[in-house]
């Protein structure tokens, strides 16, 4: 039998596909050509049909589609563990609000590269920047150099700041991001232009800060733009009681009900947080099918859930597309959301299936960022974004698991050996291949310290 030669064969893998109809192959193999998955299956069958220019032996380690982080404010990654709150200002001039408002292209480039390394080392191949990067070109150019996927939108997209829900919204931030609908829509259009290149690693979406910061008129216009551009509409929504009450006072309704009234509750919408739900909200979500980006660590950390009911397990079991996001990276470590979703669901007496977080970070996440047709599973015709973990000790091997339980429980702790994005090896033996990883870290720390010194002067 004549074998077809492909670019890359990954062999001897404990492969979790992200496709529930055929979730697992052990030993498995993946054939890749021109940046896409050409074949996937049992190793013997793939090797009998394909040869390759390059073979990668996974040595029995876990192999899975790249995880997708659907809600992160990446400027905070350089400040992880800093002694100030992400929700408020401090007496010091150096605080989270002042530091994220004072970036420039060099700072953003340094932070984006460092964030890319952090994401890859935890198995993430795409991260969704949730509207806090001012220098979007520097962000996109840097991720592209690294070879990592990203999504970006207008920074601080609001048009009504006649309220103060967040302490410490300083003058610099408000000057750089005035409450102006035209600014927001024009910037969203600028970011969406990235999507003209179908192979672009960094893509644009239509994003608003959400809740009470966007008027009905802005939300409607943003939804129209997203629909016309075949992009997703995204915003923060129903985070906590104070935001919910303020939105209700301003507009007469809030959360899911308001989004439905404005035509913003459909399959091309993804709403982040969604902690403040009731039975009517749940019915609307199941009927209209928006994506939901759940941040379980924040819901617990800010003591929102409990006492408020956690509806996410019920929604997920009934067909809602739920993805996961770490959100406040200054407080929460990258990759923790999967484990926290299991803990929170058990704590409220409505436990998720142990493998659910794996799918929430792959196939559901891809749908929620508008890329379900090309990412999120190792399936024929999809882009070859593949993560190969290390196999250092017995806890890194799945045992009688063909659904992805280990990748839900321990994904952030199992070291990554190799990452391919678009079929290209971006990380090998835990090191970035496209740029100097040590220089990236040194530059990010240097820029962070220079910024802190400048602000404190």
271 vs 400, residue with greater confidence: 271
Q: pTM for this structure? A: 0.96
State the number of CA atoms in the 13 A half-sphere of 333 facing the CB.
Answer: 10
Q: In what order do the strands lie in the sheet with 321-324?
A: 206-210, 233-237, 269-273, 291-294, 321-324
Average pLDDT, the chain: 94
Q: Cβ of 141: how many Cβ atoms within 10 Å?
A: 16
- pLDDT at residue number 97: 78
| pLDDT at res. 50 | 98
Instruction: For domain 4-64+376-432, say whether CATH 3.90.1300.10 is its number.
Output: no
pLDDT > 70: percent of the chain: 96
pLDDT of residue 2: 87
Strand, helix or coil for residue 404: coil
Per-residue buried b or exposed e for 27-45, using 16+ beta carbons within 10 Å of the residue's own CB? ebbbbbbebbbbbbbebee
pLDDT of 165 strictly over 50: no
- The tens digit of pLDDT for each residue in 336-350 reads 999 999 999 999 999
Residue range(s) in the chain whose domain bears CATH number 2.30.40.10: 4-64+376-432
Phi and psi (nearest 5°) for 258?
Answer: -65, -45
What is the average pLDDT across 418-435? 98
- Average confidence (pLDDT) over 58-67: 97
Q: What is the DSSP string of 73-142?
A: -GGGGGGTT-SS-TTS--SSS-SHHHHHHS--HHHHHHHHHHHHHHHHHTTEEEEEE-S--S-HHHHHHH
pLDDT (tens digit per residue) in 90-144: 556 777 778 888 999 999 999 999 999 999 999 999 999 999 999 999 999 999 9
Q: Residues 350-369: pLDDT tens digits?
A: 999 999 999 999 999 999 99
Where along the chain do the CATH 3.20.20.140 domains lie?
66-368
The CATH homologous superfamily to which domain 66-368 belongs is Metal-dependent hydrolases (3.20.20.140)
Quick one: pLDDT at residue 96? 77
Question: What's the whole-number mean pLDDT along residues 58-63?
Answer: 97
User: Residues of the chain with pLDDT > 90: what percent?
Assistant: 84
């Amino acid at each position: 039998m004549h074998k077809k030669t492909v670019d890359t064969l990954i062999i001897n893998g404990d492969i979790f596909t992200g496709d529930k109809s055929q979730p697992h192959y052990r030993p498995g193999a993946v054939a890749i050509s021109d940046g896409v998955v050409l074949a996937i299956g049992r190793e013997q069958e793939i090797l009998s049909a394909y040869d390759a220019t390059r073979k990668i032996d996974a040595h029995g380690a876990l192999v899975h589609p790249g995880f997708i982080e659907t809600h992160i404010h990446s400027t905070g990654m350089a400040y992880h563990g800093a002694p100030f709150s992400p929700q408020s200002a401090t007496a010091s001039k150096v605080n989270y609000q002042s530091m994220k408002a004072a970036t420039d292209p060099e700072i953003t480039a340094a932070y984006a590269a460092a964030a890319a390394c952090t994401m890859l080392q935890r198995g993430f191949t795409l991260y969704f920047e949730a509207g806090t990067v001012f220098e979007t070109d520097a962000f996109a150019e840097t991720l592209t150099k690294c070879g990592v996927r990203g999504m970006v939108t207008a920074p601080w997209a609001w048009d009504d700041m006649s309220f103060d829900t967040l302490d410490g919204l300083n003058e610099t931030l408000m000057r750089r991001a005035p409450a102006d609908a035209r600014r927001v829509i024009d910037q969203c259009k600028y970011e969406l232009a990235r999507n003209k290149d179908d192979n672009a690693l960094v893509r644009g979406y239509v994003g608003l800060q959400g809740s009470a910061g966007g008027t009905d008129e802005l939300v409607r216009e943003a939804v129209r733009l997203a629909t016309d551009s075949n992009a997703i509409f995204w915003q923060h929504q129903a985070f906590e009681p104070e935001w919910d009450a303020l939105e209700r006072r301003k507009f007469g309704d809030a959360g899911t009900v308001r989004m439905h009234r404005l035509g913003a509750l459909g399959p091309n919408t993804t709403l982040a947080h969604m902690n403040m739900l009731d039975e009517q909200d749940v019915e609307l979500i199941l009927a209209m099918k928006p994506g939901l980006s759940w941040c379980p660590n924040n819901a617990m950390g800010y003591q929102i859930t409990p006492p408020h009911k956690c509806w996410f397990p019920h929604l997920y079991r009934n067909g809602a597309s739920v993805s996961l996001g770490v959100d406040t990276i200054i407080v929460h470590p990258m990759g923790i959301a999967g484990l926290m979703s299991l803990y929170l669901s058990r704590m409220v007496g409505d436990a998720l299936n142990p493998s659910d977080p794996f799918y929430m970070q792959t196939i559901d996440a891809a749908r929620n960022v508008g890329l379900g047709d090309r990412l999120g599973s190792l399936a024929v015709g999809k882009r070859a974004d593949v993560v190969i973990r290390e196999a250092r000790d017995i806890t890194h091997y799945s045992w009688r698991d063909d659904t992805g339980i280990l990748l839900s429980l321990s994904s952030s702790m199992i070291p990554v050996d190799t990452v391919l994005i678009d079929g290209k090896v971006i990380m090998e033996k835990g090191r970035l291949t496209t740029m100097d990883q040590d220089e990236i870290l040194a530059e990010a720390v240097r820029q962070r310290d220079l910024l802190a010194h400048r602000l404190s002067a």
